[in-house]
């Protein structure tokens, strides 16, 4: 499994299997340092420097992986379509791609700008972008409806950073929000697109597709939306 944009390893630590090769890829030096320290004694986890915006970054990984996670990465890139095409080359035929991006072009505001986001995605645009890269989309769904309204308000009044008290409060009450999230009448803050390389034809791949919604509900909250 390859995780692009592994950050400090929050998702990696929950999805890695002891008998599975897990490549945690990141471009930021501080995050790379944190990843190497975190997985120093975990031989099946390989920490790899990788900048998805760099041409040829994936050249040495052709047909290596059953599953690729691309979480909170495409919104930072000038050319996300080219990155997806390169990512496709790293997957074996029938392999899974799970993409997580910020949803809602109308939610783009000061928080996005301060984080370096270049865009937010509409579901149709994200789906079509993944399909144009040669994938068959199997599922597309939103996450974190509870965060949508605060994000919109903060972005429109010009707030550039989420208050630490607000983040801590959300952390303490995340179990409540996860139960009412599906009842809220608006779209979620994040969008997940699950797809497969090559025609479906009954293929199930070598590994199960990770459920990002379950992983994120257990992980610490962050400003990546």
What distance in Å separates the CA atoms of residue 46 and residue 25, rounded to the nearest whole number? 8
Task: Provide the terminal-to-terminal Cα distance of the chain, rounded to the nearest Å.
Answer: 23
Query: Which pLDDT band holds residue 99 (cuts at 50, 70, 90)?
Result: very high
Distance CA 136, CA 148 (A): 28
pLDDT digits (tens, 9 = 90+) for 183-199: 888 899 999 999 999 86
The CA distance from 103 to 191, in Å, is: 5
Whether 87 and 96 have beta carbons less than 8 Å apart is answered as: no
Pairwise pLDDT comparison (177 vs 113), residue with the higher score: 113
26: left (phi over 0), alpha (psi -120 to 50) or beta: beta
Q: Quick check: 168 pLDDT over 90?
A: no
> Hey, what CATH class is 51-199 in?
alpha beta
Quick: pLDDT tens for 109-142. 999 999 999 999 999 999 999 999 999 999 999 9
Among positive and negative, which fits the CA dihedral 41, 59, 125, 201? negative
What is the pLDDT at residue 218?
45
Greater pLDDT, 37 or 211: 37
Contact 53, 78 (CB under 8 A): yes
- Any residues with CB less than 8 A from the CB of 16 and at least 6 apart, and which? 1, 22, 42, 44, 45
pLDDT number for residue 160 = 72
Residue 30 sits at φ, ψ, to 5 deg, of -65, -40
What's the confidence (pLDDT) of residue 22? 95
């Amino acid at each position: 499994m390859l995780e692009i944009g592994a950050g400090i390893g929050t998702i990696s630590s929950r999805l890695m299997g002891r008998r599975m090769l897990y490549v945690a890829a990141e471009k930021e030096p501080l995050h790379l340092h944190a990843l190497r320290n975190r997985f120093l004694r975990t031989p099946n986890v390989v920490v790899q420097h990788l900048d998805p915006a760099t041409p040829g970054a994936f050249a040495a990984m052709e047909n290596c992986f059953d599953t690729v996670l691309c979480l909170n990465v495409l919104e930072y890139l000038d050319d996300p379509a080219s990155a997806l095409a390169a990512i496709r080359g790293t997957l074996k035929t029938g392999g899974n791609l799970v993409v997580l991006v910020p949803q809602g072009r109308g939610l783009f505001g000061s928080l996005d700008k301060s984080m370096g986001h270049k865009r937010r995605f509409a579901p149709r645009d994200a789906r079509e972008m993944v399909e144009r890269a040669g994938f068959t989309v199997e599922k597309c769904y939103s996450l974190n409806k509870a965060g949508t309204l605060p994000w919109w308000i903060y972005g429109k009044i010009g707030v550039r950073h989420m208050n630490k008290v607000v983040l801590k409060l959300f952390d303490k009450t995340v179990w409540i929000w996860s139960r009412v999230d599906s009842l809220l009448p608006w779209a979620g803050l994040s969008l997940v697109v699950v797809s497969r390389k090559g025609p479906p034809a009954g293929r199930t791949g070598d590994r199960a597709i990770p459920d990002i919604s379950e992983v994120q509900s257990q992980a610490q909250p962050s400003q990546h939306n």
